[in-house]
Amino acid sequence: MEKYDRVIFVSTDDTCKGPMAEGVMRGLIEGRKLTTASRGMVVLFSEPINPKADAAARSCGVLLNHPRTVQFCEQDMNDRTLVLTMTEQQKKTIYEQYETAINVYTINEFLDGEGDIEDPTGGEMPVYVECFERISVLVKLVAEKLFLEDEQI
């Protein structure tokens, strides 16, 4: 049996990095009993994702299919959900704000690394493409680790 049923990628406002990570993961989990989503730490109202984030993903062959932003909440967490944040501060905030916080890591921490994924917001298209490419590499490594863990269970 798999350790996790769901992976949630958490970013600041769910308009860029989280949807990018979710889009990459969605393409990697076909045929597996694993779902993916993205959420934002601060979503004051539902809005579309950043058009540059969408364009960067499309330029790399990934359709984000994430029409509106969604606020992270208590119901997103359980012992079968892996929550991966983009920054150490986001992880810290989740543990501070939610008593039931479990299985929350930064993406880099989950991969035994460190460091935050910088936000491209306000940058030119090449900055968004570079961010997408970095997230894509990290998410593929996350998927490999999850799939390897599943095989060992």
CATH number for position 45: 3.40.50.2300
For residue 38, being part of any structural domain is answered with yes
Q: DSSP letter string over 12-79?
A: SSSSSHHHHHHHHHHHH-TTSS-EEEEEES--SS--PPPHHHHHHHHHTT------S--B--GGG--T
Coil vs helix vs strand at 10: strand
Query: Alpha-carbon distance 133 to 75, whole Å?
Result: 30
Return all residues near 107 (Cβ < 8 A) that are at least 6 apart. Answer: 9, 21, 84, 85, 86, 117, 135, 138, 139, 142
User: Domain range spanning residue 53?
Assistant: 6-152
Both tokens of 74, joined, read 């208590």
pLDDT of residue 152: 60
pLDDT of residue 19: 97
> How many domains does the chain contain in total?
1
Cα-Cα-Cα-Cα dihedral sign, residues 96, 48, 137, 127 = negative
For residue 39, being part of any structural domain is answered with yes
For residue 30, being part of any structural domain is answered with yes
pLDDT of residue 1: 39
For residue 127, being part of any structural domain is answered with yes
Dihedral class, residue 8 (left if φ above 0, else alpha if ψ from -120 to 50, else beta): beta
For residue 1, being part of any structural domain is answered with no
The pTM assigned to this predicted structure is 0.94
Give per-10-residue mean pLDDT for the chain (153 aa).
Answer: 86 96 95 93 94 96 91 95 98 96 97 95 95 98 87 58
pLDDT of residue 65: 87
For residue 148, being part of any structural domain is answered with yes
